[in-house]
Structure 1
Amino acid sequence: MGRNNVFFALVLIAVGVREIAPSKDAMKYITSGFVKVLEECKHDLNMNDQILADLYHYWKLDYALLSRDTGCAIICMSKKLDLLDTNGRMHHGNAQEFAMKHGAGDDVASKIVSIIHECEKKFERDDDECLRVLDVAKCFRSGIHELDWQPNVEVIVSEVLTEI
């Protein structure tokens, strides 16, 4: 698996969070697409529903994200969403475009990409890619919380269930 893949999947969840009405629409579309890709990855990687629980609790700062499989799933989703470059790193252009396509303004999309890039720099280890991605994901989550851009999980779940 490529490096820094986890960040991109998380970007998808966070896009457009700043503006209230646009972020609700963006989160709805992003999460719907995200869940569809997650199901493919769960099947591809033969993973259980613990991944769903980890992703549901992801935005809670005190949630440790201990499941290595969740890191692997984020990598898989990032690949399926074409958010990685040939080296397995976040493709800045694709990530920016994806965020904007799902309702984020240029400034919000740029900030999201910037946070992910900074988190990638902090976690350069080469041992277990899935665990490394979890570290980056937690760093990204903290960055989004610092901006107070974290989405309301209950709203996301409600809107996703409406779509299904």
Structure 2
Amino acid sequence: MNQTKTVLEQVSALADGQLQGDEFAAVVGQLAVESELRAAWQTYHLVGDVLRSGGHAPCSDSNVFLSRMQRRLAAEPVLALVPTPVEAVGAPIAPIAPAVVEAANEPVFRWKLVAGAASLAAAAAIGWTWIGGGSAAPAGAQLAQQQAPA
């Protein structure tokens, strides 16, 4: 099956003009011997001609096609599916309960406590600076004093 598929692919490549050298010679030699490959060659060229022509053959007998298809389907044997019992091997498996995983930013009491402590620390720092800042030196630039040499 694989070999046939490969040969048909090579015939298709030959029809597309993609084979050269030894591959070209080998496929042409096989075309001269095997009628099945010649039929595939003709089919590939016919398909190529139809695709390149731009105009496709109109389907005028769709009712005829449909009736032929219905006759062929009616002639096919009906396959009945017989259910086969399935036996469990091994111990029964208990259903697994889904694990509850909390998100990292879940509104938990400890985060509220940390946020409250941070707010209190910020308010204390601002208050301490405001209250204790009145007696400090002026906020200008402080320069080093130069001492006179002795």
Is this a same-fold pair by TM over 0.5? no
Q: Give the shorter-chain TM-score range.
A: under 0.3
TM-score in terms of structure 1 length: 0.19
How does the TM-score come out when normalised to structure 2?
0.21
Greater per-residue helix proportion: 1
Larger radius of gyration: 2
Q: Which has the higher contact order (CA 8 A, sep 6+)?
A: 1
